[in-house]
């Protein structure tokens, strides 16, 4: 079972929102579409689901073109940012409604919903309405509804963006347990690179409707192919320095070190993050971000250096990687 996008394009007027998008998602694989707002990631999801039609290219699911298959027949499980639950219906009714529309018997509806409520640990909330649930519980109802469709592909559109940081951390194990790692391909749309790196097998970074780079989280972090990817992947972001007009040099904040013989710096800001602290330093080469141990004493003035072997080099004009890895 595989999802394939072949030369997919979508435009509005003369502007291409997506252009020549090629992507394959294998059986049991999760690919995250990551990028800033307006890069085309949600448009790609709508094209896969059949909620919008491409101006070029085709979508294939399990080897079958979806061009002539309407959205309601595509056997796709979608989980939305807004949960898309009926507020006036109970949790149970929200789940049985889709089964009823698809012609399931009353007994089958009851059995399958009871099973899925146990799976998502919401059996004791079955008669409550969405407004009586927490954000994490509402998202688990949305996951349960997607599971009930017995889909060939899962599409998740910013499913945790409405949750606070703690709830997102709590829900990730549920996502892994319920959807990730099963036989279905999963496409996960997010603007949160930490979420993408935590959940996805591969990440496709989109920029202006095209894939800038695709690879494992480790590949994108360790060998970004463009300066755009270098700054988009990693928190704090990579430091980019311009020694001359031809190239840009990148160095990760965790690769900076204090060195009395190094580049003089002045402390502008300091934030504690548990076992580490994030520093913003001012130097003759511009502002630099640094990560160091939480117990490191920091003065108002210091000096830093880094191993040149850890530098990432990019063409100043095209942004393409210059390192030979």
| Phi, psi for residue 22 in degrees, rounded to 5 | -120, 125
Which residues, other chains included, contact 137 with Cβ-Cβ below 8 Å and sequence gap of 6+? 122, 125
pLDDT value for 148: 84
The DSSP call for residue 238 is P
209 in the Ramachandran plot: left (φ > 0), alpha (ψ -120 to 50) or beta?
Answer: left
Which residues, other chains included, contact 122 with Cβ-Cβ below 8 Å and sequence gap of 6+? 91, 137, 140, 141, 144
Q: Do residues 306 and 250 lie in contact, with contact meaning Cβ atoms separated by under 8 Å?
A: no
Q: How far is residue 218's CA from residue 197's CA, in Å, rounded to a whole number?
A: 8
Q: How far is residue 118's CA from residue 204's CA, in Å, rounded to a whole number?
A: 34
pLDDT value for 296: 86
Provide the residue count of the chain.
Answer: 325
Q: Do residues 312 and 224 lie in contact, with contact meaning Cβ atoms separated by under 8 Å?
A: yes
pLDDT value for 265: 95
Q: Do residues 322 and 314 lie in contact, with contact meaning Cβ atoms separated by under 8 Å?
A: yes
pLDDT value for 323: 87
At 291 the three-state DSSP class reads: strand
Residue 225, exposed/middle/buried by CB under 10 A (0-12, 13-18, 19+)?
Answer: buried
pLDDT value for 1: 61
Q: How far is residue 189's CA from residue 196's CA, in Å, rounded to a whole number?
A: 8
Q: Which two tokens stand for residue 247?
A: 């190239």
Q: Which two tokens stand for residue 200?
A: 């996805």
Alpha helices in the chain (DSSP H): 41-49, 91-101, 106-119, 135-148, 165-178, 193-199, 217-222, 227-232
In degrees to the nearest 10, what's the CA dihedral of 189, 195, 197, 200? -50
Q: How far is residue 35's CA from residue 24's CA, in Å, rounded to a whole number?
A: 18
The DSSP call for residue 256 is -
Please report, in tens digits, the pLDDT of each residue of the chain (325 residues total): 699 999 999 999 999 999 999 999 999 999 999 999 889 999 999 999 999 999 999 999 999 999 999 998 888 988 887 778 899 999 999 999 888 888 888 888 889 899 889 888 889 999 999 999 988 888 888 888 888 888 899 999 888 887 778 878 877 887 787 778 788 999 999 988 888 999 999 999 999 999 999 999 999 999 999 999 999 999 899 999 998 889 999 999 999 999 999 999 999 999 998 899 999 999 999 999 999 998 888 888 899 999 999 999 999 999 999 987 6
Whole-angstrom CA distances from 102 to 16, 55, 88, 94, 97 are 36, 30, 21, 14, 9
Which residue ranges form the domains of the chain, and what is each CATH number? 3-228 (3.40.50.300), 236-315 (2.40.50.140)
At 2 the three-state DSSP class reads: coil
Provide the terminal-to-terminal Cα distance of the chain, rounded to the nearest Å.
Answer: 34
């Amino acid at each position: 079972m595989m999802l394939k996008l072949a030369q997919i394009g979508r435009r509005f007027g003369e502007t291409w929102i997506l252009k020549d998008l090629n992507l394959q998602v294998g059986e049991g694989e999760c690919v995250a579409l990551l990028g800033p707002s307006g890069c085309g990631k949600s448009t790609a999801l709508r094209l896969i689901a059949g909620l919008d039609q491409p101006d070029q290219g085709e979508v294939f699911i399990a080897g079958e073109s979806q061009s002539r298959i309407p959205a309601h027949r595509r056997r796709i499980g979608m989980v939305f940012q807004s949960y898309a639950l009926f507020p006036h219906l109970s949790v149970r009714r929200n789940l049985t409604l889709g089964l009823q529309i698809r012609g399931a018997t009353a007994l089958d509806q009851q059995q399958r919903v009871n099973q899925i409520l146990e799976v998502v640990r919401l059996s004791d909330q079955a008669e409550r309405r969405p407004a009586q649930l927490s954000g994490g519980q509402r998202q688990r109802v949305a996951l349960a509804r997607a599971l009930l469709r017995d889909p060939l592909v899962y599409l998740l559109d910013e499913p945790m963006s409405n949750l606070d940081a703690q709830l997102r951390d709590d829900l990730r194990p549920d996502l892994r347990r319920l959807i990730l790692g099963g036989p279905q391909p999963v496409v996960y749309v997010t603007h949160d690179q930490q979420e993408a790196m935590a959940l996805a097998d591969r990440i496709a970074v989109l920029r202006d409707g095209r894939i800038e780079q695709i690879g494992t989280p480790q590949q994108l972090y360790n060998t970004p192919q463009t300066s755009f990817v270098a700054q988009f992947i990693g928190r704090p972001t990579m430091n980019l320095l311009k020694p001359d007009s031809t190239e840009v040099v990148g160095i990760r904040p965790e690769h900076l070190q204090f060195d009395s013989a190094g580049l003089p710096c002045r402390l502008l800001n300091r934030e504690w993050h548990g076992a580490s602290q994030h520093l913003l330093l001012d130097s003759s080469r511009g502002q630099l971000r640094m990560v160091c141990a939480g117990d490191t004493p920091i003065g108002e003035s210091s000096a830093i250096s880094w191993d040149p072997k850890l530098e990432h080099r990019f063409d100043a004009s095209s942004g393409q990687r210059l390192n030979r890895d």
